[in-house]
Amino acid sequence: MKPIIIVDFSHLFSRNLFVAINQANPRVKNGKYITSEIAPYFKHLLFNSLQFIKNKFDGEMVLALDARYNWRKDFYKDYKGTRAKGKASGELNWDEVYPIVDEIVEVIKLNFPFKVVKVEKAEADDIGGVIAQKYGDERPVTLVTSDHDWLQNITHGRYIKMYDPIKQEYSEMSEYENGIINTPAGPMSRFTAIHTLIGDSGDNVPNITFETEFSENFLSFLSENEIKSTNVDEVRAMSIFGELTDKYDVFAKVKSGKRKGLDVIDYRIYYRLETTELITKDDYTKQKRTEDYVEEEVFQKDIFKKVTFGPKKAEKAVKDENSLNEVLSKHPKYKSNFMFSNTLVDFDKIPQNIKDEILNEYNTSKISYNQNGILEYFMNEGLGKLVNQVTKFYDSSYTKDAVSTSSLDDFF
């Protein structure tokens, strides 16, 4: 049986998109890049990357795609919440980028020798993990991604490997990380236990100390409002807790252009008042003398103290079951927080119905190959350098020494 090559397509398109921006240097209009100046080079880079992967790994290519909404958001509404903030205030017009990606995916489905797997409420992580764990003891499976989270799959199959396309090398666990430890959430690798303990700031997954202590500022505020308890659960259980946090929010507002109260600036956005269209900081600086352009500071209320729990503490904590339990017993909420975060980061916790849908989609997805369709698409999109390489997407004689990098000189 052919090896399975699972590509984290969401990561792949994002990486190539930002490389295209950096090298194509598009103009900015109304605070956003002109998408049409990015698109051609982005497409070239993306298909060139797919060609490189197809060439390097001789096997069944599976492109794992993110659904726009996933089950982890149902479980935790703030999952990947910081990314949404960044997209809203960034210079990319995602309303124009996503249709381009959707168009590329449809072209791939109709013409390229790749399986495309996308399942409602599933992330690419879920797809890669479920397929790898299902077949990793039967046939070689290579996961192509730079997402460190995927590494946990290695412990689930004798033939599972992970290749980092940015570093262009295989990723590996240490013998220590690969060891299995019993936890309140079940047995898992130390790698996964560490990930659970420290959370994932990129995905906005909290660590075990999340919301376990109030900040000094909020404690002072509670005292001023004659609330004597400092216990998080007790105060949150009070019927007036919502009223208190609203009052604290108002107290923390910026007044008369100066910071007042106990606020913490999270990030700033700039927009045109008439259209509420977001603009860049540079454009705001040029226009700020007019009343039509607004700077707004978005605040993160410092209700809870940020208690650090980093990798070194986590690695020590997972030495064995006793050391882990000792750490989790240091605060009444640490164990429940561990269980909560583990649901978000441990691929073993993917809901069974999602797993079933992924395997069904993988097994029923058909691979098509239409060389004329690929050629026509490349010609219509002005991807001249790729026209002469159409057969290489399907030709096993394609040299193993292909170079994965590309430049503007190569494109033009």
pLDDT of residue 346: 97
The residue with tokens 């049986």 is: 1
pLDDT of residue 269: 46
Within-domain flag for 326? no
Phi-psi region of 34 (alpha: psi -120 to 50; beta: other; left: phi over 0): beta
Q: Write out the residue range of the structural domain in which residue 175 sits.
A: 4-180+349-364
State whether 53 and 167 are in the same domain: yes
pTM of the model: 0.81
Rounded to whole angstroms, the Cα distance separating 172 from 164 reads 10
CATH number for the domain that contains residue 137: 3.40.50.1010
Rounded to whole angstroms, the Cα distance separating 117 from 7 reads 10
State whether 93 and 37 are in the same domain: yes
The residue with tokens 């990606």 is: 101
State whether 123 and 262 are in the same domain: no
| Number of domains forming the structure of the chain | 2
Using the CB atoms, write b or e for 373-402: b if 16+ within 10 Å: ebbebbeebebeebeebbebbeeeebeeee
- The whole-number mean pLDDT for each consecutive block of 10 residues of the chain, a chain of 412 residues, reads 93 92 90 93 94 91 95 94 66 92 95 94 97 96 95 95 94 95 97 96 92 89 89 92 77 40 45 49 56 51 86 96 97 96 97 98 90 91 84 53 40 35
State whether 170 and 220 are in the same domain: no
State whether 38 and 126 are in the same domain: yes
Q: Nearest 5°: CA angle at 164, between 159 and 169?
A: 80
- CB proximity list for 100: less than 8 A, separation 6 or greater: 35, 39, 42, 43
Rounded to whole angstroms, the Cα distance separating 238 from 78 reads 23
Write phi, then psi, for 6 (nearest 5 degrees).
-105, 120
